[in-house]
Structure 1
Amino acid sequence: MTPGEILLAEGRLETGWWGPGPEAAPTIVLLHEGLGSLGLWRDFPARLQAATGCGVFAFSRFGYGGSDPVPLPRPLDYMQREAREVLPQVLDTIGLRRGLLLGHSDGGSIAAIHAGSVQDFRVQGLVLLAPHFFTETAGLAAIAEARRRYEEGDLRARLARHHRDVDVAFRGWNGAWLDPGFPAAFDLLPDIAHIRVPVLAIQGEADPYGTAAQLQVLEREAYCPVEVLLLPGIGHTPQAEAPEAVLAAVREFSDRLFRPAE
């Protein structure tokens, strides 16, 4: 990884780059989950770069990892703001020419919002890992259980190794999702109905934070081509729990997207 940083008006973002730059190859931009960071992708970016030949770029969003913190509470539309206001600045700053967005969990939702509401012809496809498009009762219960483990168990100590301000990272995510107004604020059906690029959506059947209904609504509402991969026995992090299956699917998807015209 080549470490770096981006300076925006809102503050500093920590970044990492694997493989060729945007002038030499398509770029896969990684968007992490609600408790993730640049470092918590672990070896996945390097393996993804090797599998696809694309450049891979990742960053910690504001409030996560080593990036600058944000004030709490987060607004209930924080993912919409990230997709429409911050992400376009990031893509401009790195000089994106063409590529795809690969988002996990919250990051998948952000990728879908961006593709459905921002006209950006550089983004030619989406890979969504365990994305959310609406709230589910079981998923909210799992988020409430995460709060209990954070306050009473060892979750805070484990996350603190990866975040400059662990309370901002956790409470910003957890507090927004468990706010009574969040289900009404988080309805991405209008966004996914306006996506106009191919989508690969991957989810584990044993994901406690979301069911296959998330993928079903994507297939039903999206106008664009949608491929779905449902992995038996896999939970919320398919890239870590079933890396070979995920890498193979993303490699095939990216090959089709970026194959030179014959």
Structure 2
Amino acid sequence: MSASVGNAGRAQIDWAGQPVHIEYQWVGSAAPGAPVLVFLHEGLGSVAMWRDFPARLCEAAGARGLMYSRPGYGRSTPRPAQERWTPRFMHRQAHEVLPALLQALQLDPAREPLWLFGHSDGGSIALLYAAAFPQALRGAIVLAPHIFVEDVSVTSIEQAREAYLETDLKQRLGRYHDDADSAFWGWNDIWLDPAFRSWNIEREIAAIRCPLLAVQGVDDEYGTLEQIRGIARAVPHTQLLELPDCGHSPHRDQPQAVIEAAARFIRAAG
């Protein structure tokens, strides 16, 4: 399957012995040799929930961008109602789903200047991919990633569960997901599973070799600054950006600061 800037569609991959359709959309520059930014969404995100941020960043960086919705999200194949994710759900996205999607869209990391741009769970997935395939990336940018589980994360996710059950959150998520229950409960159930409390990827990410920019809001309600500071301890060449007056979504709370920092970082890496 070929893909060009401006195209949107659904790519089929084989995952866990089943055909899965992945929603995707291209934005940005079609110039030959332009870096490719693959956008990895948050735990309740999708292609549409990025809004215009990827296009703005790609314009500033002279890049083309690929957004996609992971299985269970957006217009991609929903999660079966009985399926419960395991503590390695982000590993499987990094090691299985993302490589399969790149292959389906004929994106070869050996030939393309490939970058990952991940937010929250998507940031963790970006880190795991960068660690598992250290020669595949030109660089990675992660916003509010998780490398271990904190009490503040669990508390906020418990509050999200209450909101989903008691407010119109399900209806609001339904604007972005074909199956809001698929998106919400897959994410919420595993994060609140006691087995997930010991999840930790600090040792694994030490294998990252590509340039890495880690961004977090000082007021992040889903994690402390120890998340990105822990990344810097494991991967000493990491550049950190701690943003004041910013919560868990720096690209929404401080979009211009993120765009300027990310575009500068991409240009500096060549």
On whether the aligned pair clears a TM of 0.5, the verdict is yes
The separation in 2 between residues aligned to 1:65 and 1:13, in whole angstroms, is 9
Alignment deviations for residues 157-216 of structure 1 (CA, whole Å, 9 cap, x no partner): 1111110110010000000000000022x2111221111111101110111101101011
Aligned residue for 1:95, secondary structure, equals coil
| Maintained 8 Å contact 2:118/2:142 | yes
TM-score (norm 2): 0.91
Please report how far the alpha carbon of residue 248 of structure 1 lies from its aligned counterpart in structure 2 after TM superposition.
0.2
| Maintained 8 Å contact 1:21/1:27 | no
List alignment gaps of at least 5 residues for structure 2.
1-5
Partner of 2:116: 101
The separation in 2 between residues aligned to 1:149 and 1:33, in whole angstroms, is 18
Matched, 1:189 2:194: no
Give the number of equivalent residue pairs.
255
List alignment gaps of at least 5 residues for structure 1.
none
Partner of 1:66: 75
Q: Percent identity?
A: 42
Please report how far the alpha carbon of residue 122 of structure 1 lies from its aligned counterpart in structure 2 after TM superposition.
3.4
Partner of 1:170: 184
| Maintained 8 Å contact 1:116/1:194 | yes
The separation in 1 between residues aligned to 2:72 and 2:253, in whole angstroms, is 26
The separation in 2 between residues aligned to 1:81 and 1:55, in whole angstroms, is 25
Please report how far the alpha carbon of residue 107 of structure 1 lies from its aligned counterpart in structure 2 after TM superposition.
0.2
Paired letter, 1:125: G
Please report how far the alpha carbon of residue 22 of structure 1 lies from its aligned counterpart in structure 2 after TM superposition.
8.5
Alignment deviations for residues 243-262 of structure 1 (CA, whole Å, 9 cap, x no partner): 1000000010000112xxxx
| Maintained 8 Å contact 2:46/2:69 | yes
Partner of 2:96: 85
The separation in 2 between residues aligned to 1:209 and 1:22, in whole angstroms, is 38
TM-score (norm 1): 0.94
Partner of 2:63: 54
Aligned residue for 1:181, secondary structure, equals helix
Which of structure 1's runs of 4+ aligned residues deviate more than 4 A? none
| Maintained 8 Å contact 2:38/2:67 | yes
